[in-house]
Amino acid sequence: MSSHTASNHDRCPNILWIFGDQHRAQALGHAGDPNLRTPNIDRLAVEGVELQGIAGFPLCCPYRGALLTSRYPHHSVPGHERRLPEDMPTLAQPLREAGYHTMWLGKWHVDGFEESTGRAAFHTVPRHRRGGFDTWISYENNNSQYDCHVHGHEGETEIAHQRLAGYETDALTDMLIGQLRKRAMAPDTPFFCALSVQPPHGPYVAPEQWMGRHNPATIALRPNVPPVPRLAERARRELAGYYAMIENLDWNLGRIRQALADLGLADRTHIIFFSDHGDLHGSHGQFAKTAPWQEAIRVPMIIGGGRPFYGVGGGRHECLVNHVDLAPTTLGLCGIEPPSWMAGTDHSCYRLPERPHPAEPDSAYLQVVEPTNHGNSVDRPWRGVLMRDGWKYICLEGQPWQLFNLNEDPYELANHAHNPRYHAERKRLQDRLVQWISDTDDTFALPPL
């Protein structure tokens, strides 16, 4: 239970989650990507703290299940179009118990709707499967950014399906700003709000203002995109739209921060900017997600906002923040002790140094529990471990697959998984992977050493 009461709400910060879908960590201006400008995200990073964001399961539904519950996917949402268990609590419960008003706006994608039976954008998520949020205006899934429909509830009022005007990220940002105006009128009640948008997930289109800035012919590809003409052509074509979508999201982040300032909310509002997973865009000859290469599993992870905290707990840290860590870290920023059913680590001390410093995990657990069998995906389960010391090890069932030293090989071009010279390193990492499997009550057939 939280120590917060109605008499000290003035000391409770607000929390904003802002996250897109399929936004890889490398696709930011301050990360060195020469193809785009992201001044608002870059400013958030400079003024805040940047950690190493990890998509421990690089797929929408499993990541979101772990994000909401701080439970690993094999205990929450194990695969694509699988439903979050109805009796499983989310971070909305401890926040509401602490007096927070909780809001979720935009993509949900944990209600188990199978798109083979129709369009997920028109699926109605029943109220008892909306995570316990006070305000929930959302959609299950939508891959048509100019045809976005939402439904849900605000308090006791049900909201029927309605089509948003214009481009999805812009319209959902308008909705968020409207909600912020309402919260500014209730200053004694702190709020948590998640803005979850589909872009930069495909199809890779954005308003002309941003599309016009990117010519596929001039896109600089990552060095691990093979020089195969059809792969490079597709990567450049899709990346032109992808970068336009990210620049549009960046612009909308600027609109949100300006609204917070205009409404007098900026000083007490933490902003966490992240993504559910990345996008390969031709790296290693692959596209989309579900693969363990860095382009798919590394995501932005920035904690900023809140002017009184500028210059405190800032900078860039090597701390690995996995999907299960976002909920307890959010509670930590609010001064709320994470409940015992959360499996993740509270990393709020990196933003608020007065917070307790936890035993820092030496690694992040990586997995695909149930393959999607979609085109451009990995067609079998895998498990892996990403170490803080820069090594990464991935296994298929009964078979080592990848072993990389990211310190000397950030683009993962030299795979040592089957090289006897690296047997000792493989044993060290497999021993750590065995421990992760045991600690999380997972099951997986690892290869003989």
**Terminal CA-to-CA distance of the chain, rounded, Å?**
45
What are the tens digits of pLDDT across the range 38-50?
999 999 999 999 9
Q: What percent of the chain has pLDDT over 70?
A: 96
Q: Is the pLDDT of residue 5 over 60?
A: no
Who contacts 208 (Cβ-Cβ below 8 Å, separation ≥6)?
A: none
Average pLDDT over residues 300-312: 74
pLDDT band, very low/low/confident/very high, at 360 (cuts 50, 70, 90): confident
For 281, the token pair is: 């865009």
pLDDT band, very low/low/confident/very high, at 400 (cuts 50, 70, 90): very high
pLDDT band, very low/low/confident/very high, at 307 (cuts 50, 70, 90): low
For 420, the token pair is: 């006897």
**Exposed e or buried b for every residue in 271-299, given b needs 16+ CB within 10 A?**
bbbbbbbbbbbbbbebbbbbbbbbbbbbb
Q: Selecting from 3.30.930.10, 1.20.1440.230, 3.20.20.70, 3.40.720.10, what CATH number does the domain 11-360 have?
A: 3.40.720.10
Q: What is the pLDDT of residue 283?
A: 98
Do 11-360 and 380-439 fold alike per CATH?
no
Who contacts 159 (Cβ-Cβ below 8 Å, separation ≥6)?
A: 137, 150, 151, 152, 153
CA angle, 290 then 392 then 20, to 5°: 40
Extents of the domains making up the chain: 11-360, 380-439
Q: Is the pLDDT of residue 1 over 50?
A: no
Q: What is the pLDDT of residue 7?
A: 33
What are the tens digits of pLDDT across the range 239-296?
999 999 999 999 999 999 999 999 999 999 999 999 999 999 999 999 999 999 999 9
Average pLDDT over residues 156-171: 97
CA angle, 170 then 316 then 337, to 5°: 80
C-alpha to C-alpha distance for 51 and 49, rounded to whole angstroms:
7
Q: Selecting from 3.30.300.30, 3.40.50.1100, 3.60.150.10, 3.30.1120.10, what CATH number does the domain 380-439 have?
A: 3.30.1120.10
Who contacts 379 (Cβ-Cβ below 8 Å, separation ≥6)?
A: 371, 373
CA 265 to centroid of chain Cα atoms: 24
Structure-model confidence comparison of residues 8 and 162, the more confident one: 162
Q: What is the pLDDT of residue 3?
A: 38
Average pLDDT of the chain, as a whole number: 95
Q: Is the pLDDT of residue 194 over 50?
A: yes
Query: Among positive and negative, which fits the CA dihedral 54, 58, 61, 66?
Result: negative
Q: Is the pLDDT of residue 12 over 90?
A: no
pTM over 0.85: yes
